[in-house]
Structure 1
Amino acid sequence: MRAASAIVSPLRRLAPTAVRHTQRRCFSNSQNMQAVWGFIGLGRMGYPMAKNLRAKLPATDTLIVQDVNLDATKQFLGEHSEGVIVAENVREVAEKSECVITVLPEPHHVAGVYKSMLQPPSLLKDGTAKERLFIDCSTIDPTTSREVANAATLSGQGKFIDSPMSGGVVGAQAGTLTFMIGASADVVDRATEVLSLMGRRVLHLGEQGAGLHGKLANNYLLALNNIATAEAMNMGIQWGLDPKALAGMINISTGKCWPSEVNNPVPGVIEGSPASRGYEGGFGVALANKDLKLALKAAKEANIKVVLGDAAKQLYDETEADSNCKGKDFSVVYRFLGGKE
């Protein structure tokens, strides 16, 4: 495993006039020229990530952004009067950029975007003198990621890296994300340079697909710990224990975990937590359920036996469908279980 956190020097440069007036770009070795970066997906995670990227790049660099939500791209452009271009489509991003970062919701979005970027392969390769990097920060199933990676390799247009992240919207805004990457050794340093502009840690877990496998294993455990914490807290409170005293005991004992210590599901136990704000913000129950399902799917495909996952999935399905819980932080399972608020 490899970790890095340093903010590093920018990529190679592109002449500013070429960026704005031509379709294809010829990269120069001169450090006095302008670098061009691509970013696709300005959602809840992608938007603040792109903002941090733009803020940490030299003023002379250009960031090309694209999203199907035109309001998001309009807002982003409005907040950055210099050094940002909104592309008409994802193909334009790929043609102009030496490094393309994608942050997309679902596997079919990732597959569709990369198909549009990679096909047809003619002309695209002429855009850079340095091998293009495609860094996908989406949390999707490893099978789709592998298919996209193979398509990128076969097209000859660049190398694909899976790089899901941990830290949520708060981490994306603060630039403290942890990225888990799956990539061949020869591109790890370069990918780390890019990701360190948006996060605090970059962990190399192995070859392509390893980043996603690591992320899904972690979020599988997180989903289960969240339910167990909600059940344990509900249990103790129903027995008459003070919520803060119970949480304090757990957090210096063997039951300690992130849901008990940082994201405790009982309102009032942790000041500022989603539970203390009506379960608003945080890691949405739908997203937690999505990651759990992806982990279960990947485990099934690999013939890996799991025991607790299916029961957890059923609970999250029911919680997500409940009108009092839908759209809330995933700690809202405490409410669904009938916990005292």
Structure 2
Amino acid sequence: MTEEQEWNLPAVTYGWVGIGVMGYPMAQNLRRRIPKQSKLIINEINDSAVKKFLAETQPNENISSVGTAKEIAQQADIILTMLPVGRHVRQVFTDPSTGLLAGVPDSSQRKILFMECSTIDVATSNSMNDLVTSKGHSFVDAPVSGGYNGAVAGTLTFMIGGSDSFFNQVRPLAETMGKKQNIYHCGKQGAGLATKQINNYLGFVSMLGVSEAFNMGRLYGLNPKTLASVINVSTGRCYNSSSENPVKGVTENASTSKDFEGGFSIELCKGVVEMALQLGEQVGAKSVLRDTVLKVLAEANEDPRVKGKDYRSIYLHIADIEQTENHV
């Protein structure tokens, strides 16, 4: 197996399932940094995304698409998956006609490394791990944080669960799509997802607090830029106040600059927060905010100002305003 010296990646066949909002730029960054002689095979149910992805590649980049995940498993040595929710992951892995496991060879002939990057429940991830390893192949959970902009820039944070040896195998892969210093081995299988869910829960709670604070300032008549400047050098500072402020014009390139289009949708946010709270229940963790968080998320998912938008649009729901009113 030859190696690409800069990225220390094997010149083998790579497979990618799921080129959606996050998967698309992640797969692009992977292709740029794997050895030029390597193959990349993609599978995606959205035909227009596949056509666009292939159209943006050069003839010598050795990229092709296939109609099923099974066909990827029949050819690839390393397979990455990036899918919306747990049921999609389960279907992609286990469908008897089209799934990855239907196409894996005997591990004595070729061993496959699966790097599952979706944000899903720990139970589904652990179940897929059990199925993959029972066939003699390798599996790690490797969810990411950093959003679409981080995926495009190749600056994602990776939270990886699995053995030390598996972590060492996938670290160079993660570095093609994330910041080298932000690739974390979180513990055993499932630990990457547990870390991700806890982080997303805290991020949403933080966004609720920021939304309430800036709505309070709005109603009092404070200048939101001045309020943000004070908060961001004081004890209230957090990522959502400084880098993703929900008031348009306070933070450059925040999701509100795009009117909350794209990004981590409120629907996906609700799912991940629910998974985090379920995880908390399973381990017996106290949650004084649980009922409030679930109530706000349920209401926001029915609010047309928020539905389908980046979860930071929760500010519009809290402040009870339209996006047209949301600016400095």
Query: Residue 75 of structure 1 aligns with which residue?
Result: 52
Structure-2 separation of matches of 1:230 and 1:7? 43
* Residues 205-214 or 324-333, more deviating: 324-333
Give the superposition deviation at 1:7: 5.3
After TM superposition, the structure 1 = structure 2 runs for residues 124-139 of structure 1, keeping only pairs within 5 Å, are 124-125=106-107, 127-128=109-110, 131-139=111-119
After TM superposition, the structure 1 = structure 2 runs for residues 1-341 of structure 1, keeping only pairs within 5 Å, are 8-11=7-10, 13=11, 35-80=12-57, 81=59, 82-115=61-94, 116-119=99-102, 123-125=105-107, 127-128=109-110, 131-156=111-136, 158-200=137-179, 201-337=182-318, 338=320, 341=326
Cα root mean square deviation, aligned: 1.8
Structure-2 separation of matches of 1:126 and 1:87? 25
Q: Secondary structure at the match of 1:180?
A: strand
Preserved CA contact (<8 Å) 1:95 1:124: no
Q: Secondary structure at the match of 2:171?
A: helix
**TM-score, with normalisation over the residues of structure 2?**
0.89
Q: Secondary structure at the match of 2:157?
A: strand
Q: Secondary structure at the match of 1:96?
A: coil
Q: Gaps spanning 5+ residues in structure 2: where?
A: none
Structure-2 separation of matches of 1:266 and 1:148? 41
Structure-2 separation of matches of 1:279 and 1:186? 40
* Residues 274-283 or 58-67, more deviating: 274-283
Give the superposition deviation at 1:314: 1.6
* Residues 95-104 or 69-78, more deviating: 69-78
Cα deviations by residue, 1:146-197 (Å, 9 ceiling, x for unpaired): 11111111122x1110000001011111111110000111111111011111
CA 1:225–1:191: 2 relative to 1, 3 Å: same
CA 1:147–1:253: 2 relative to 1, 3 Å: same
Q: Count residues in correspondence.
A: 310
Give the superposition deviation at 1:265: 1.1
**TM-score, with normalisation over the residues of structure 1?**
0.86
Structure-2 separation of matches of 1:52 and 1:172? 8
Preserved CA contact (<8 Å) 1:224 1:309: no
Query: Residue 30 of structure 1 aligns with which residue?
Result: none
The structure 1 segments of at least 4 consecutive aligned residues displaced by more than 6 Å after TM superposition are none
Supply the AA of the counterpart residue of 1:91. K
Percent identity between matched residues is 38
* Residues 45-54 or 89-98, more deviating: 89-98
Supply the AA of the counterpart residue of 1:70. D
Cα deviations by residue, 1:71-123 (Å, 9 ceiling, x for unpaired): 222222222233112123111111211110000111011111112212376x4
Q: Gaps spanning 5+ residues in structure 1: where?
A: 1-5, 14-34
Structure-1 separation of matches of 2:86 and 2:287? 23
Structure-2 separation of matches of 1:205 and 1:290? 22
* Residues 229-238 or 276-285, more deviating: 276-285
Preserved CA contact (<8 Å) 2:107 2:135: no
CA 1:37–1:277: 2 relative to 1, 3 Å: closer
Supply the AA of the counterpart residue of 1:166. S
Identify which of structures 1 and 2 has the higher relative contact order when contacts are C-alpha pairs closer than 8 Å and 6+ apart.
Answer: 1
Structure-2 separation of matches of 1:54 and 1:126? 28
Supply the AA of the counterpart residue of 1:221. L
Cα deviations by residue, 1:218-267 (Å, 9 ceiling, x for unpaired): 10000000001000111122122211111111111111111100111112
Supply the AA of the counterpart residue of 2:107. K
Supply the AA of the counterpart residue of 1:41. G
CA 1:46–1:127: 2 relative to 1, 3 Å: farther
Q: Secondary structure at the match of 1:37?
A: strand
Structure-1 separation of matches of 2:258 and 2:14? 37
Give the superposition deviation at 1:272: 2.9
CA 1:319–1:7: 2 relative to 1, 3 Å: farther
Cα deviations by residue, 1:13-36 (Å, 9 ceiling, x for unpaired): 4xxxxxxxxxxxxxxxxxxxxx21
Structure-2 separation of matches of 1:288 and 1:85? 32
CA 1:274–1:307: 2 relative to 1, 3 Å: same
Supply the AA of the counterpart residue of 1:100. I
